Structure 1
């Protein structure tokens, strides 16, 4: 196993992690920004007003993108398992 193949595996794994995190976190960040602007405009300083919408959007993002995320992760591990004989020998 040479260092370039290890680098390729880690690069692909990190890219999948970044994709998974971005798909889940980006909608929550957008909703948090909208709620913050609303709170600043109306001067309402309620903690649950900022927390609950972000929680719901994050749960919806996981619900709708979950099968795609699991499929990407499953494909990565299947490719990794099929490549083990080539990596070792």
Structure 2
């Protein structure tokens, strides 16, 4: 296994992590910004509002895209194991 293969595997790993974690992180960030704006306008400074909304969003994303996420992770794992058998 040369450094080119290792670099490709690591690049693919970072791509899979971004693909799987990106939607949850972006939606949580948007929810946090919207809640912060709402709290600034109404002067309601309750910490649990933002936390509960973020948890609901993450659970919703996992319910909607969980199958796709699992398939993506399985495909990457199979690819890595196939590369391991070639060594």
Length-normalised TM-score, structure 2? 0.91
The equivalent residue for 2:17 is 17
Correspondence for 2:33 = 33
**1:60 aligns to 2:49 (yes or no):** no
2:69 corresponds in structure 1 to: 69
1:83 paired residue number: 83
Deviations 1:27-78 (A, max 9, x none): 1111111111000001111111121111111111111111111100100111
Give the superposed CA RMSD. 1.1
Aligned length: 87
Structure 1 gap ranges (5+): none
- Distance in 1 separating the partners of 2:49 and 2:23: 23
**Superposed displacement of residue 85, structure 1:** 3.1
Give the corresponding residue for 1:48.
48
How much has 1:84 moved relative to structure 2?
2.4
**2:8 is matched with which residue?**
8
Supply the distance in 2 between the matched residues of 1:83 and 1:23 (Cα, whole angstroms).
28
**3-state SS in 2 of match to 1:45:** coil
